[in-house]
């Protein structure tokens, strides 16, 4: 009985929606998630079960829900004509001689004399209401106009008389001071996932807007402003994004551009505020700093994130006071040789790394040296020898790894 084919540590497959080639860890076999290019939900292949990558099954048709019958409309009740107000008209006038009856009008129409009588009645009623209202207001008034008699007129006040004292004015009532309502606290920012954080970082309109998506913005803000002034500001153009691997919660992406079609590595680090981009590592790779350095003139110095491993000298080469190293960024066709003096105080730092010092696993270091090299941050200087030949000299091994510096 044949055993199942071994599952490779990394699964490579084409997106069944857009066709882009994707790579996920073997632990993600058979899991569903969005394609980082077209955002279509897909299911990764499961080699152990012999199942290829596929799209999830579409949901079934919705079940129609019967609508409730609408109630029959109810006719509103007929309007009720308002009753006329009671008349306060004066006494009826003396009876007048009745004129001869006029001809009877056609059914459904009111005679002209009747219409005139109703108009007169409404006018008289209005006048009566106005007079009654004025009379009532006079009765309710507290002040009465003085009556001056012709027989006894009041004497004018003497010059010695004093005016009556003014009554005390009431003190104004103090109203309690009211404090304006305080504004509600701002809502906490929405945490994005790693993929959306990286896209928001790249598509930010300027470096200030990009700061909210980077690790330790208070430390790199000044460097971001300087880079923007030197190289230009604005959104970062890219042609594609793919997830390379996930290690210790850090998502490593490959961002492809027109100038670097093979792509550059971008790390998205988990933090308490959500995933953040390691700007220092990204900008050095994105702007190809190492290549510009070794193509430039002698006398320059710089700090770079590179793969580092010793390089044996060719056979027959004379004994030298230097040791050779091969340096390479995580980008193709950029390997360079560098030298370090055998008596350099920085050399013991590298030997401690190869022996598993600084809390490193010796087997992992050996595996890295067998591959591209140990990822390290190193200091370099470009020099020229006596005959004018230029070379790179390692002046310090600053740290192991490319993660952001601690606060």
Over residues 148-158, the mean pLDDT reads: 46
Over residues 293-320, the mean pLDDT reads: 88
Could you read off the pLDDT of 365-398 as tens digits, one per residue? 888 888 899 999 999 999 998 888 999 999 999 9
Over residues 93-114, the mean pLDDT reads: 45
Asked if residues 308 and 350 have their Cβ atoms less than 8 Å apart, the reply is yes
Could you read off the pLDDT of 218-255 as tens digits, one per residue? 999 999 999 999 989 999 999 999 999 998 889 999 99
pLDDT band at 314 (very low <50, low <70, confident <90, very high): confident
Provide DSSP, 213-233. Answer: GBSSHHHHHHHHHHHHHHH--
Alpha-carbon 261 to chain mean position: 30
Task: Point out the least confidently predicted range of 3-12, 74-83, 224-233, 386-395.
Answer: 74-83
Given this model, what pLDDT does residue 187 score? 56
On whether the pTM is more than 0.75, the answer is: no
Helix (H) or strand (E) holding 324: strand 322-328
Q: Residue 366 gets which letter from DSSP?
A: H
* Distance in angstroms (rounded) separating the CA atoms of residues 373 and 367: 8
What's the token pair of residue 97? 């001689």
Q: What do you get for the CA distance between the two ends of the chain, in Å?
A: 58
Q: How many residues does the chain have?
A: 407
* Distance in angstroms (rounded) separating the CA atoms of residues 225 and 353: 35
pLDDT band at 406 (very low <50, low <70, confident <90, very high): very low
What's the token pair of residue 172? 């104004």
Given this model, what pLDDT does residue 25 score? 86
Asked if residues 330 and 264 have their Cβ atoms less than 8 Å apart, the reply is yes
* Distance in angstroms (rounded) separating the CA atoms of residues 236 and 264: 13
Most confident of 45-59, 89-103, 338-352: 338-352
Handedness of CA 258, 259, 261, 263 (dihedral sign): negative
Closest to 349 measured CA to CA, from 402, 391, 299, 395 = 395
* Distance in angstroms (rounded) separating the CA atoms of residues 371 and 365: 10
Over residues 315-326, the mean pLDDT reads: 82
Task: Point out the least confidently predicted range of 34-43, 155-164, 260-269, 280-289.
Answer: 155-164
Tell me which residue has tokens 């055998």: 342
Given this model, what pLDDT does residue 113 score? 42
Given this model, what pLDDT does residue 1 score? 43
As a whole number, the mean pLDDT across the chain is 76
> Does 292 score more than 80 pLDDT?
yes
Asked if residues 198 and 241 have their Cβ atoms less than 8 Å apart, the reply is yes
* Distance in angstroms (rounded) separating the CA atoms of residues 294 and 390: 9
């Amino acid at each position: 009985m044949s055993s199942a084919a071994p599952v490779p540590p990394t699964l490579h497959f084409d997106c069944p929606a857009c066709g882009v080639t994707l790579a996920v860890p073997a632990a993600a076999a058979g899991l569903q998630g969005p394609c980082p290019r077209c955002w279509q939900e897909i299911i990764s292949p499961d080699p152990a079960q012999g199942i290829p990558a596929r799209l999830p099954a579409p949901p079934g048709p919705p079940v129609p829900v019967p609508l409730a019958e609408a109630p029959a409309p109810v006719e509103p009740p007929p309007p009720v004509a308002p009753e006329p107000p009671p008349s306060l008209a004066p006494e009826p006038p003396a009876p007048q001689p009745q004129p001869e009856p006029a001809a009877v009008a056609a059914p459904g129409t009111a005679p002209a004399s009747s219409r005139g009588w109703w108009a007169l009645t409404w006018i008289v009623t209005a006048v009566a209401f106005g007079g009654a209202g004025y009379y009532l207001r006079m009765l309710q008034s507290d002040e009465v106009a003085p009556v001056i008699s012709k027989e006894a007129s009041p004497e004018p006040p003497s010059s010695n008389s004093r005016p009556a004292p003014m009554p005390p004015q009431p003190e104004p009532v103090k109203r309690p001071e009211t404090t304006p309502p305080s504004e509600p606290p701002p809502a906490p920012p929405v945490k994005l996932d790693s993929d959306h954080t990286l896209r928001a970082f790249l598509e930010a309109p300027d470096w200030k807007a990009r700061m909210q998506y980077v690790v330790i913005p208070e430390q790199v803000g000044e460097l971001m402003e300087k880079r923007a002034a030197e190289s230009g500001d604005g959104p970062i153009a890219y042609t594609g994004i793919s997830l390379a691997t996930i290690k210790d919660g850090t998502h490593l992406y490959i961002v492809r551009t027109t100038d670097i079609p093979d792509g550059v590595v971008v790390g998205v680090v988990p933090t308490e505020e959500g995933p953040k981009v390691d700007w220092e590592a990204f900008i050095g790779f994105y702007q190809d700093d190492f290549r510009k350095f070794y193509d430039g003139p002698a006398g320059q110095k710089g700090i770079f994130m590179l793969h580092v491993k010793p390089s044996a000298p060719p056979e027959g080469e004379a004994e030298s006071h230097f040791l050779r190293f091969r340096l390479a960024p995580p980008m193709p066709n950029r390997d360079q040789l560098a030298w370090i003096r055998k008596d350099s105080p920085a050399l013991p730092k590298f030997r401690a790394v190869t022996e598993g010092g600084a809390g490193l696993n010796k087997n992992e270091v050996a595996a890295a040296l067998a591959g591209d090299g140990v990822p390290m941050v190193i200091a370099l200087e470009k020099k020229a020898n006596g005959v004018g030949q230029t070379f790179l000299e390692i002046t310090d091994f600053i740290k192991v790894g490319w993660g952001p510096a601690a606060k």
